[in-house]
Amino acid sequence: MQKFSANLASVISIFFITIVCVLSVFGQTASSEFADKSKDSTADENAAIIQISDSEAFDKKNELSVLGGFVPETARLYGGSRKSTYGFAAVRYSRRLASGDSLALKYQIDFIPLALINYERQRVVQIAPNTFDLERERETVYGIGVAPVGLQLNFRRKKKVQPFVGLTLGMIYFAKSIPDDRSPVFPDRIGTHLNFVTSGGGGVEFATASERSYTAGFKLQHISNASRGNINPGFDQSLFYFGYTFKKW
């Protein structure tokens, strides 16, 4: 578990370093633009410009975001799913497909350059001619992935606080097959490198400027190999995640 905590700390560090870099680049651009406007306009005119800018931001169709999340080990949700701890960092592209006065439907695709899962291996070993024991040990595995199918429905689309619901479908390729319960007694008890990910949940998006917003969300996530491996217990997770949208156009 200590190794996983260290790995997770690295993921979180990379995530926040990325955010800081993005904030620095786009923050400087926004500051210079605002300074130029201040020199040539009165306070009332600036207020009008800000209102127009905010209105235009809600009508922009494309977005780029960074996000990351973590799930502590929780009890299984159903069936034979196995307990696990999971963390990830991702880049998201969003495209608004349709909208009304109060609703907006977005298509999303997530690129996941770094994901890691920590789970308990369960190996059956023979300790005597007629005696067997179940050995348990923790295993941490890295992966990369993509979620090419994502839909998100935002409510109150022209407000600065927008609740939303959404779902995603994707896949992660892990460096090792998961789970791996092989032993001399059962040499074939192993999953696969490639696993599929489905998730659904909701959250809140907070708009703070013309091209920026923050997201806080929660979703139920399921990882499994769709019975492509010799074993497929699956991993069910209650995932908390946070995101930052730094570009809209």
Domain residue ranges of the chain, discontinuous segments joined by +: 2-248
Q: Phi-psi bin for 129: left (phi > 0), alpha (psi -120 to 50), beta?
A: alpha
For 212, residues 6+ apart whose C-beta sits below 8 A from its C-beta are 26, 244, 245, 246
- Looking at 129-189, which runs of residues are DSSP E strands? 131-155, 161-180
CA gap 183, 189 in Å, rounded: 8
Could you tell me if 197 and 235 are in contact, meaning their C-beta atoms sit under 8 angstroms apart? Answer: no
The three-point CA angle 119-121-123 to 5° equals: 170
Residue-by-residue pLDDT tens, the chain, 249 positions = 454 455 555 545 554 454 445 444 444 444 444 445 444 554 455 544 444 455 566 778 999 999 999 988 765 555 568 889 999 999 999 999 999 889 999 999 999 999 999 999 999 999 888 999 999 999 999 999 999 999 999 999 989 999 999 999 999 999 999 999 999 999 999 999 999 999 999 999 999 867 799 999 999 999 999 999 999 999 999 999 999 999 999
CA distances to 81, 117, 165, 222 from 237, in Å:
10, 11, 17, 6
CA distances to 14, 45, 185 from 66, in Å:
11, 33, 45
CA distances to 60, 90, 105, 109, 236 from 151, in Å:
17, 16, 7, 9, 21
Could you tell me if 103 and 154 are in contact, meaning their C-beta atoms sit under 8 angstroms apart? Answer: yes
- Residue 223's nearest CA partner among 187, 191, 190 is 191
CA distances to 32, 64, 144, 209, 234 from 1, in Å:
46, 33, 21, 40, 20
Three-state secondary-structure class, residue 14:
helix
Select 2-248's CATH number: 3.40.930.10, 2.40.160.20, 3.90.1150.10, 1.10.3720.10: 2.40.160.20
Could you tell me if 74 and 238 are in contact, meaning their C-beta atoms sit under 8 angstroms apart? Answer: yes
Q: What's the pTM?
A: 0.77
Q: Which two tokens stand for residue 112?
A: 């996941």
Helix (H) or strand (E) holding 122: strand 103-128
Q: Can you give the pLDDT at residue 28?
A: 46
